[in-house]
Chain A
Amino acid sequence: MRRLFFLLPLLGALFLIGWLGYPILAGHNPQVLPSALLDKPVPAFDLPSLEEGDGSVTSTELATGAPVLLNVFASWCAPCRAEIPLMRRLVDDGAITVYGLAYKDEPKATRDFLKTLGNPYKRIAVDRNGRVGIDLGVYGVPETYVIDGQGRIRYRHVGELTRSVVEEQLIPLMREIAG
């Protein structure tokens, strides 16, 4: 009995090592925060479209019956610039449909940005003051949301889209959603 008492620190130590080791081995990144809106509908919004005379873009529009991506971006963000070519290629291949949310950006700057890089987006909503961003729980751009056919958020990726993220996470998930 008395001996068992002296084993307690050892058990504690083993527990602690596992506690600390697991996140490293699992490749945990403390900066990444999953969306609080998983499996919930995209928060309602009604924002002007980037194209002049194109009316407004609304949240209901995202429920297209098939999975789509919603990409939150800005012209002032370097990783956003880097991921555009990849998205364009995927759109050209017909692999994805992407809506854009221009987060806290001058519409003119956004237009110039897309003029130089090309435009992968089906439509772009202008979130000038970032309020829709806050409703979505955006905390860093770029962010990419997978939206299912009913307009619910199924996944969020924070940071630049890379080929491996798209191929290993987004596309399999979209296939699964599409059934």
Chain B
Amino acid sequence: MRRFLPLLVLVICLTGSGALAPVFAVQPDEMLEDPALESRARGLSAHIRCLVCQNQSIDDSNAELAADLRILVRERLVAGDSDQQILDYLVDRYGPFVLLEPPTTESTYLLWYGPGALLVVGGLALAVFAWRRRRPEVTQPLTAEEHARVKALLDGAADEGKET
């Protein structure tokens, strides 16, 4: 049974199963009159993970829990909560997992600073590489074998000229 579970989740999240008709993400009756608050609500929703369809935000998800959370977010906005207060409210209940943008804490330093560190380390490595490569090319006399290859090459190049 476990093998089919994810497919089931996919079906519910993206289509709604037979009995449940597909539902859009945001419903007209959920939306707030005040366009400024509504746009804050949309922005916040895009940062909150739907816990049923785990890779969607509640703004995209068709799941019922996502709808409940969208309404909750709007209620708290109307009640005058700041964006951060709303996110904290959800984290208290669902844990940091609910945030699609992970907070910068000790356990996510590597996540947030890793890419920058890689770029810097890579850049430094390249600078060292370039510094060492800066020396002019040392010319060494050709060996007899190399002489033969150069000759073969030059002949080959001449042939090539004829071909084209």
Contacts from A to B (Cβ < 8 Å):
30-31, 33-37, 43, 104, 129-131, 134-140
Known: A104-B64, A130-B68. A137 touches B54 (CB 8 A): no
Chain A hits for B69, CB < 8 A: 134
Which of A36, A135, A136 is the most central at the interface, judged by chain B CB atoms within 10 Å of its CB? A36
CA distance A122 to B155 in the complex (A): 97
A selection of 9 A-B contacts at a CB cut-off of 8 Å is A31-B9, A33-B95, A34-B95, A35-B95, A36-B92, A43-B93, A129-B68, A130-B68, A134-B72
Question: A36–B91 contact, CB under 8 A?
Answer: yes
Judged by DSSP, the binding face of B is helix
B interface, size bucket: 10 to 19
Contact with A along B77-105 (1 / 0, CB 8 A): 00000000000000111110100000000
Total A-B pairs, Cβ < 8 A? 39
Contact present for A139 and B94 (CB under 8 Å): yes
Whether B51 sits at the interface, judged by CB under 8 Å, is yes
Among the listed B52, B68, B72, B95, which residue makes an inter-chain contact with A140, where contact means beta carbons less than 8 Å apart?
A: B52
Query: Do most interface residues of chain A lie in helix, strand or loop, or is the interface mixed?
Result: loop
Nearest A residue to B94 via CB reads A137
- A26-B93 Cα distance, complex, nearest whole Å: 26
Contact A139 B51 (CB under 8 A): yes
* Residue among A104, A134, A139 making CB contact with B52, cutoff 8 Å: A139
